[in-house]
Structures are given as C-alpha cells and as structure tokens.
C-alpha cells in the first residue's frame, strides 16, 4: 500500500469549550410545548422522555469522553477536489486484511460504526483495513454549498479517497444513504470493487422494468406496504427532499428541537420493543446528536435528500451491479424490497435474514452485522 500524500493529514477532535457551554445555556432556556395527555410517542417525540434526555444532556453527558474515544483511533482529513473529508482509518491485524469503506446514513454518523471497529479489525486470520468516512455535510467533513452533492457525487469522492490511500481493490459496505453511495461505487467502479455488502436498499431503487411488464404479487405487496409506511412515517423525508432549509432554521438554533427530530427516528426505526433504551443508551444517543449540534450539519445532512431526489437510483436497461453482493436483512428495517426484486439490479451472492435488529444495525447488532460482513468477504477469495 502506498504512503498517503500530503493531501491527507492527521486529525483530532477538540471542540472549543465555549461551544459546549453555549449548548448547555440553550438547553436551560428551552421553551417546551404542550402535549395531549398520555399521547407518548404517537404525535412525535415523547415530551416526558425528551425532558428526561435533556436533563441528562445538561447534567451527566460528557462530550469529552466521546472525543477521547474518537481520538483513540487514527483520524484524518483528506482534501479531495477542494472538499475536506474526515475519515477514520484502522488497519486490520489479520494475516489477510481486506480494505473496506463503510458509509453511514441519516440521522446517523461515523459514530455508528465504533462498535464494529474491534470486531472487524482484530481477528488474527481475516480482518479489514477499515476506512470510515463522514459524508460531506455530516460530522467533521466540509459542507458542500453548491447543487449536486448526491450519493453518486459522494461515491466519486470515496473512490478518489481509496485510490489516494493506495487501495486499488476494496470492498464497500453501507446502510441507509450509505447503501446508495456504496451502490453507486459498485456501478461506476466495478473493476475496483471486490464486493458490496448492504444492510439496506436505497428507497429510490427501481430495477429496469420493460414497458408492459407485470410485477409479481410479492413486489406489488411490497410497494403497497412501502406507500403505507411513507404515509405514516415519511413526512421527514418529504421535508428533507423539498424544503430542508425551512426546517433547518429551527433545528440549527434549538438543541432540543434537533434532539427531538433525530431521537424520534432512533426510536421508530430500531428493534427496541417499545423502549428506545432497550437498544441505545442515553450516552450513545446524545453523542450522535451532539455531533450534529457542534458541527451545525443538520441542514447540510438533510440536503442530500433533496439532491438524491433529482438523481434517484433508477436502473436503465442493462444497468446492473455486477460485483458480488451480500445483503443482511434485519427484521425492524425500513420497508425492504423482496429478494426477487433486488436481484433484478444486484448480483446477490449472499443473503442473511437476521433474527434481531433494525435500521441502525451497526449500533444495534454489531456482532451480527460484523459476522455477516466477514462471512461474505472471506468467501470471495
């Protein structure tokens, strides 16, 4: 592997104390709304839980501990086409170690992948050289303030990053928006991609369907279920895809508003049996939310929905992911197409139906996800 050039520099996290002090002041000045008695989460984020979480944020949560954990791993900043891209780069300890770029989604961040790091890098026989970047406009990566920063655009940046690191053959893994970025990588650079592992299929995905072709009952049932889910739960996505800036004025100014917007998704999209803290600790939730707050990235992160809506993952005739694909299907994931529909656009070689877990698989079920990633790539030869 080649030595990184001077376009890649070491990076460490050290948020100015005044930013953290300002956060606590704003939390203390929160104006709380009313609610319908006993409504719990039915109208959105539960008021009682949000007050409890906010009190913990003020009194107990320690961002400096999060910084220490982040900085315990090698972090870097790469200048790619003038864009500053933050990424973690952890070399595997195995006799064989496969380069793997893992991409997060929204409302997550690179922090989602922290539990995967030891599981994927420390096996003495087969491991991964992990590259865990932050999507532009998320975390510590720079915001791109011109149109066109969609998943395909990010895939091009990722490929340049991997080439700069000396990885001319590498694997790609992702969920949520990361699944779309990883898919674009595989479509555009198939000779460089060893394999593609996904735990989600982009919501805009449509394989090529010939005019007049009848869809199967299985696919029609999925489309009906997906439409019903969107009617109940999809307001956030319509907002992000149409008028993200309007919502961002409030979310970028109120930490409790930001917290409510994000924590509702962690509650609704995870396998938690009705209690969010069955799956995530307060510290885990607040680490991710605080990252959005201190970097002021809520608008830039939402904006990718708008950009992706202009370039959906709709396959043309003869467009197909030819690289080997592994898929991990978690039971509480957002609506997922049937395998038969996915296979029309993806070269599925490995499929696992998981016993537990939801949308945030790397955080919820790191052992299950890491084992599936390892099983898939270790068999590719």
Looking at residue 6, its pLDDT comes to: 57
Looking at residue 9, its pLDDT comes to: 97
DSSP 314: B
Domains belonging to the chain, first-starting first, are 16-21+44-379 (3.40.50.1820)
167 carries an active-site annotation: no
CB 269 within 8 A of CB 358: yes
176 carries an active-site annotation: yes
Averaged pLDDT for residues 325-337: 97
| Of 256, 271, 250, 269, nearest in space to 50 by CA | 256
> Per the residue annotation, which of 89, 197, 240, 359 is the catalytic one?
359
Q: What is the pLDDT of residues 62-114, one digit of tens each?
A: 999 999 999 999 999 999 999 999 999 999 999 999 999 999 999 999 999 99
Looking at residue 1, its pLDDT comes to: 44
> Per the residue annotation, which of 305, 320, 341, 372 is the catalytic one?
305
Average pLDDT value over all residues in the chain: 96
Looking at residue 4, its pLDDT comes to: 47
**Looking at the predicted structure, is the pLDDT value of residue 340 above 80?**
yes
**Looking at the predicted structure, is the pLDDT value of residue 375 above 50?**
yes
240 carries an active-site annotation: no
**Looking at the predicted structure, is the pLDDT value of residue 126 above 70?**
yes
Interatomic CA distance for residues 195 and 125, integer angstroms: 19
Number of CB atoms found within 10 A of residue 155's CB: 22
> Per the residue annotation, which of 46, 129, 176, 372 is the catalytic one?
176
Averaged pLDDT for residues 307-336: 96
DSSP 241: H
Looking at residue 174, its pLDDT comes to: 98
Q: What is the pLDDT of residues 111-123, one digit of tens each?
A: 999 999 999 999 9
Q: What is the pLDDT of residues 196-241, one digit of tens each?
A: 999 999 889 999 999 989 999 999 999 999 999 999 999 999 999 9
pTM score, whole prediction: 0.96
- Rounded to a whole number of angstroms, the distance between the first and last alpha carbons of the chain is 19
Secondary structure of residue 193 in the 3-state scheme: strand
Looking at residue 5, its pLDDT comes to: 53
What is the side-by-side order of every strand in the sheet holding 96-103?
8-10, 75-80, 83-90, 126-133, 96-103, 170-174, 193-198, 321-329, 346-353
Averaged pLDDT for residues 37-54: 96
CB 313 within 8 A of CB 337: no
Q: Is the dihedral of CA 92, 109, 333, 45 positive or negative?
A: positive
Looking at residue 3, its pLDDT comes to: 42
Secondary structure of residue 358 in the 3-state scheme: strand
Q: What is the pLDDT of residues 229-280, one digit of tens each?
A: 999 999 999 999 999 999 999 999 999 999 999 999 999 999 999 999 999 9
Distance between alpha carbon 87 and the CA centroid of its chain, in Å? 14
Looking at residue 2, its pLDDT comes to: 44
Both tokens of residue 331? 């039971």
Q: Where are the beta strands (DSSP E) in 180-228?
A: 193-198
């Amino acid at each position: 592997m080649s030595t990184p050039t001077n376009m890649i520099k070491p990076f460490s996290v050290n948020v100015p104390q005044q930013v953290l002090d300002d956060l606590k002041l704003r939390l203390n000045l929160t104006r709380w709304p009313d609610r319908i008695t006993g409504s719990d989460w039915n109208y959105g984020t539960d008021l009682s839980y949000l007050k409890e979480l906010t009190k913990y944020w003020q009194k107990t949560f320690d961002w400096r501990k999060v910084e220490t954990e982040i900085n315990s791993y090698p972090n870097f900043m790469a200048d790619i086409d003038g864009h500053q891209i933050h990424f973690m780069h952890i070399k595997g300890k195995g006799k064989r170690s496969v380069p793997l770029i893992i991409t997060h989604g929204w409302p997550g961040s690179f922090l989602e992948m922290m539990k995967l790091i030891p599981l994927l890098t420390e096996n003495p026989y087969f491991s991964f050289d992990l590259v865990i970047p932050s999507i532009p406009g998320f975390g510590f990566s720079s915001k791109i303030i011109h149109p066109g920063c969609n998943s395909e655009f990010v895939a091009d940046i990722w490929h340049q990053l991997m080439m700069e690191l000396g990885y001319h053959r590498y694997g790609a893994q992702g969920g949520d928006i990361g699944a779309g970025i990883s898919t674009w990588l595989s479509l555009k650079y198939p000779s460089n991609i060893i394999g593609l592992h996904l735990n989600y299929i982009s919501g805009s995905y449509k394989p090529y369907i010939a005019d007049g072709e009848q869809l199967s009952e299985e696919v029609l049932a999925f489309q009906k279920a997906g439409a019903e889910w969107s009617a109940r739960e999809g307001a956030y996505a319509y907002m992000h895809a149409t008028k993200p800036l309007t919502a961002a004025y409030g979310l970028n100014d109120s930490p409790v508003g930001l917290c409510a917007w994000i924590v509702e998704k962690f509650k609704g999209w995870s396998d938690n049996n009705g209690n969010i803290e069955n799956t995530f600790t307060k510290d885990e939730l607040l680490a991710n939310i605080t990252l959005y707050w201190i970097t002021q990235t809520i608008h830039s992160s939402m904006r990718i929905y708008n950009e992706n809506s202009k370039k959906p993952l709709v396959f043309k005739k003869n467009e197909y992911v030819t690289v080997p694909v592994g898929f991990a299907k978690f039971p509480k994931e957002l609506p997922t197409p049937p395998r038969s529909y996915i296979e029309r656009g993806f070269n599925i070689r490995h499929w696992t139906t998981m016993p537990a877990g939801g949308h945030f698989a790397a955080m919820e079920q790191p052992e299950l996800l890491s084992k599936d990633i390892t099983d898939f790539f270790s068999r590719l030869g």
